[in-house]
Amino acid sequence: MRKIALRSLCVILLFIAYFPNVNGFSQDSTAALPDVALDSTIRLNAFVQDTRTPQNRFVEFFIRLQWTGDLDRYEVHRFENPILQNLQIQGSGSANRVATISGVQTAIREYTFTLKPEAIGMGYIEPMIIKYSDLATDTEHRLTTNRIEVQIIDPLPEDGSLSWPLRGVFILVLVVSAVILVRWFRIKTARRKKAAQEMTKAVVPIEEKYLQELKKTIDLNDPSLDGAKAFAQLSKILRRFLHERFSAPGLEATTSEVIQYLYEQKFENRWVNEIKEILSNADIIKFSGKPVDRPDIERTFTIVESLFQASLQGQMGPHSETTTTVD
Amino acid sequence: MSIDINAINAKIEKESEFIEKITRQVSKVIVGQKYMIERLLIGLLSDGHVLLEGVPGLAKTMAVKTLSDTIKTKFQRIQFTPDLLPADVMGTVVYEQKTGTFSVKKGPVFSNLVLADEINRSPAKVQSALLEAMQERQVTIGDETFKLPEPFLVLATQNPIEQEGTYPLPEAQVDRFMLKLSIGYPNREEELEIMRRMTALEIPHAEAVVTPADILKAKKAVHQVYIDPKIENYIVDIVFATRKPKDFGLDELVELIAFGASPRASINLNMAARAHAFLRRRGFVTPEDVRSIGMDVLRHRIIVTYEAEAEEISAEEVVRKILNKIEVP
């Protein structure tokens, strides 16, 4: 048993002696300088940013040489592009920099390769030999990178790229939105124009409009004026005016409903009574067939006219609207 | 045709004098419910039967009884029950053992004012027998046909709360009622007055102030109330709007009305509006009369669709929309 243990220990010691750099097995390889040059040590790191990458993404492969001391201590020789399997070089670059790491000046030379995966599966970067010269000792050395593997997985959906049906929907939505936008813009413009026109129209007060309509509809100088018809027209004009000017119930409402509304709006009694008299008389004439005297029409015409005038001068209206001056 | 409106007005003024007397007597007993009393009078004056819908205790029966008291008429109340038979209402032929002959025994329908209480509690055969009598104003018992007395007015009540064990009146039969009234609760002041009056030592009683002959005379006068063609057209517009709402700019009602009002609605609206004008002691009809009575004439004649029911839109709401939309002449 002791013999077996001693034999195993010897094998392990021999193995360690024969393979001094165990780290070389790792993906992220760090190659120590085999022959120590004066007081400087050069280190090599070869690694990929991500060992698992989608097919439609790039693999960044870095070779980093790092030593203590000045940047010009070593001269790295040009080397060939890495031998790749299932990967393609898309670009490369190199950079030098000097940094202080743990209080020691450190020079860093970095080579970058941008690799594009070819197919889903495994990609490999074969080991590379990096040759360099130690300018202090004027000696040439070499370092070898490890074989690095990259797992290439399913491609990711590209930003903004859509499948055809989705793209169709997207285009449709875009077109519809554009149409709506144009239409909205046109409507807005039309409304603006209309509003401008109405503003122009609104300059003419409602009362004036109805006064003109009154005179235009009922011609008191006409000898053949139909009294019943004239009364019906007078009543209609007055109702429409009350509706437009004071939001009273419209032509679908009865006389009592209109009067009720005026009372509710706190119109002065004298105005309500006058309106009530006109509308009630008109109802009697319209619905009872009662004959109409010409003076009746003239009188009613004058009252309606005076109502419009009073409203124009702000004398007639809901209680809150009327303005009274107290001396 | 020239109309002497002054003469009509004078006649109506004279003939309608008794209205005030009746109102005064009724208001001695009934507190408030002016709407119901007025509609009952409209029914009486325009030969139209009235269906009253309201919860129990709203003085429906008392109002009818009081009205009959003021008119010196024969009043009968029939309580409709599930076991009621048509013969119980109309009358039947009975065998007289003494004489060995058959004689007619008239039922309670042979009265001037008949109150069919809870009409929807009896089966369809009793309802249809009464409704037929209401329409024809005559009853056939055995081989003999008897004319019902004049005036003849049926006032039926319906309880809208209880639906269990009821036989709802078919739409076609409801149409035979000129008016369907929806009786509401009294207001606070009225409630107080009812309470005081009905708990007093002596419950007031209405006196007879009108004879049936006066009513018949008034009924004739109601027919003479002038109705202008403009008003007639207004009535037709309203009724047509229940059938073809789209033609009147009521597109939203198209999906809500299954069946519009029948021509009977136009006839009844015309007559009820005349009676309404008569009660106002006016010799001509105005749009106010039509609008005032429109809801009561139309609410039971419009059948709303399933969609309307699902949206809880009642026939009343439909009528209201129509009345608020149609332009008055």
- Would you state the pLDDT for residue A215? 85
B176: DSSP letter: T
Element (DSSP H or E) covering residue A272: helix A269-288
Band (A35; pLDDT cuts 50, 70, 90): very low
Band (B162; pLDDT cuts 50, 70, 90): low
Q: How far is CA A199 from CA A192, A194, A202, in A?
A: 10, 8, 5
- Residue of chain A whose alpha carbon sits nearest to that of B3: A289
Average pLDDT over residues B105-121: 89
Q: Which residues is A66 bridged to in the sheet? A: A43, A108
Q: Does B270 touch chain A (CB under 8 A)?
A: no
Identify the residue whose tokens are 């005081």: B196
Which residues in B lie closer than 8 A to residue A288 (C-beta atoms)? 3, 5, 9, 226, 228, 283-284
Task: Find out whether the peptide bond into B151 is cis, omega within 30 degrees of 0.
Answer: yes
Q: How far is CA A254 from CA A109, A150, A318, B264, B283, in A?
A: 99, 90, 20, 24, 18
- Higher pLDDT: A163 or A37? It is A163
Taking a C-beta distance cutoff of 8 angstroms, is the pair A200, A266 a contact?
Answer: no
Alpha helices in A203-226 (DSSP H): 206-217
Identify the residue whose tokens are 């960044």: A60
- Would you state the pLDDT for residue A113? 93
CB neighbour burial string for B213-222, b if at least 16 within 10 angstroms, e if fewer: ebbeebbebb
Q: Which of A299, A189, A186 is nearest to A234 (CA)?
A: A299
B168-221 residue pLDDT tens: 888 777 888 999 998 888 888 888 888 888 787 777 788 888 888 888 888 888
Q: Which amino acid is at A279?
A: L
- Would you state the pLDDT for residue A202? 60
| Helix, strand, coil content of chain B in percent (nearest 5) | 50, 15, 35
Band (A31; pLDDT cuts 50, 70, 90): very low
Which residues in A lie closer than 8 A to residue B231 (C-beta atoms)? 287
Residues contacting residue A1 through CB under 8 Å, at least 6 positions apart: none
**Is it the case that residue A299 has pLDDT exceeding 70?**
yes
Contacts 24+ apart (CB under 8 A), A196-204: none
In residues, how long is chain B? 329
Contacts 24+ apart (CB under 8 A), B218-223: B218/B15, B218/B16, B218/B18, B218/B45, B218/B278, B219/B45, B219/B46, B219/B47, B219/B151, B221/B11, B221/B12, B221/B15, B221/B16, B221/B278, B222/B45, B222/B46, B222/B271, B222/B274, B222/B275, B222/B278, B223/B274
- CB distance B328–A256 less than 8 Å? no
Q: How far is CA A184 from CA A178, A179, A189, A192, A193, in A?
A: 10, 8, 8, 12, 14
The domain limits of chain B are 17-214, 225-325
CB neighbour burial string for B84-103, b if at least 16 within 10 angstroms, e if fewer: bebebbbbeeeeeeeeeeee
Record the tokens describing residue A286, joined without a space. 């319209």
Band (A11; pLDDT cuts 50, 70, 90): low
- Would you state the pLDDT for residue A210? 85
Is the dihedral angle over the CA atoms A292, A298, A301, A303 positive or is it negative? Answer: negative
- The fold adopted by the segment(s) B225-325 is Helicase, Ruva Protein; domain 3 (1.10.8)
pLDDT averaged over chain B? 86
Residue B249: left (phi > 0), alpha (psi -120 to 50), or beta? left
- Would you state the pLDDT for residue A184? 92
CA distance B36 to B179: 11
Average pLDDT over residues B159-163: 67
Taking a C-beta distance cutoff of 8 angstroms, is the pair B248, A252 a contact?
Answer: no
Taking a C-beta distance cutoff of 8 angstroms, is the pair A234, A300 a contact?
Answer: yes
The CA distance from A276 to the nearest CA of chain B, in Å, is 14
CA distance B266 to B301: 11
* Test the B interface: residue of A286, A288, A292 with most B CBs within 10 Å: A288
- Residue of chain B whose alpha carbon sits nearest to that of A254: B288
Q: Does A233 touch chain B (CB under 8 A)?
A: no
- Would you state the pLDDT for residue A12? 60
* Test the B interface: residue of A231, A281, A287, A290 with most B CBs within 10 Å: A287
Taking a C-beta distance cutoff of 8 angstroms, is the pair B45, B215 a contact?
Answer: yes
Taking a C-beta distance cutoff of 8 angstroms, is the pair B156, B51 a contact?
Answer: yes
Rounded to the nearest angstrom, the gap between the alpha carbon of residue A233 and the centroid of all alpha carbons in its chain is 57
- Would you state the pLDDT for residue B290? 93
Q: How far is CA A63 from CA A79, A106, A112, B152, B195, in A?
A: 11, 16, 6, 116, 106
- Select the highest-mean-pLDDT range: A224-233, B41-50, B157-166, B178-187: B41-50
Lowest-confidence region among A32-36, A120-124, A188-192, B283-287? A32-36
- Would you state the pLDDT for residue A10? 55
A93-125 residue pLDDT tens: 999 988 888 888 889 999 999 999 999 999 999
- Would you state the pLDDT for residue A19? 46
Q: Does A25 touch chain B (CB under 8 A)?
A: no
- Would you state the pLDDT for residue A149? 92
- Higher pLDDT: B115 or A14? It is B115
B122: DSSP letter: S
Band (A200; pLDDT cuts 50, 70, 90): low
The CA distance from B285 to the nearest CA of chain A, in Å, is 7
* Test the A interface: residue of B1, B286, B293, B327 with most A CBs within 10 Å: B286
| Coil, strand or helix at A303 | helix
B224-276 residue pLDDT tens: 898 989 999 999 999 999 999 999 888 888 999 999 998 999 999 999 999 99
- Would you state the pLDDT for residue A70? 85
- Would you state the pLDDT for residue B129? 86
Record the tokens describing residue B7, joined without a space. 């003469």
Q: Classify domain B17-214 at the CATH class level.
A: alpha beta
Residues contacting residue B274 through CB under 8 Å, at least 6 positions apart: B46, B222, B223, B225, B227, B285, B289
- CB distance B3–A288 less than 8 Å? yes
CA distance B243 to B250: 11
A131-146 residue pLDDT tens: 888 888 888 888 888 8
The domain limits of chain A are 21-153, 206-312
- CB distance B327–A283 less than 8 Å? no
Q: Which amino acid is at A307?
A: L
The CA distance from A288 to the nearest CA of chain B, in Å, is 6
Which residues in A lie closer than 8 A to residue B284 (C-beta atoms)? 284, 287-289
Which residues in A lie closer than 8 A to residue B321 (C-beta atoms)? none
**Is it the case that residue A29 has pLDDT exceeding 60?**
no
Q: Which of A251, A255, A287 sits opposite B228 (nearest CB)?
A: A287
- Residue of chain A whose alpha carbon sits nearest to that of B324: A252
Identify the CATH assignment for A21-153 out of 1.10.10, 2.60.40, 2.40.50, 3.40.50: 2.60.40
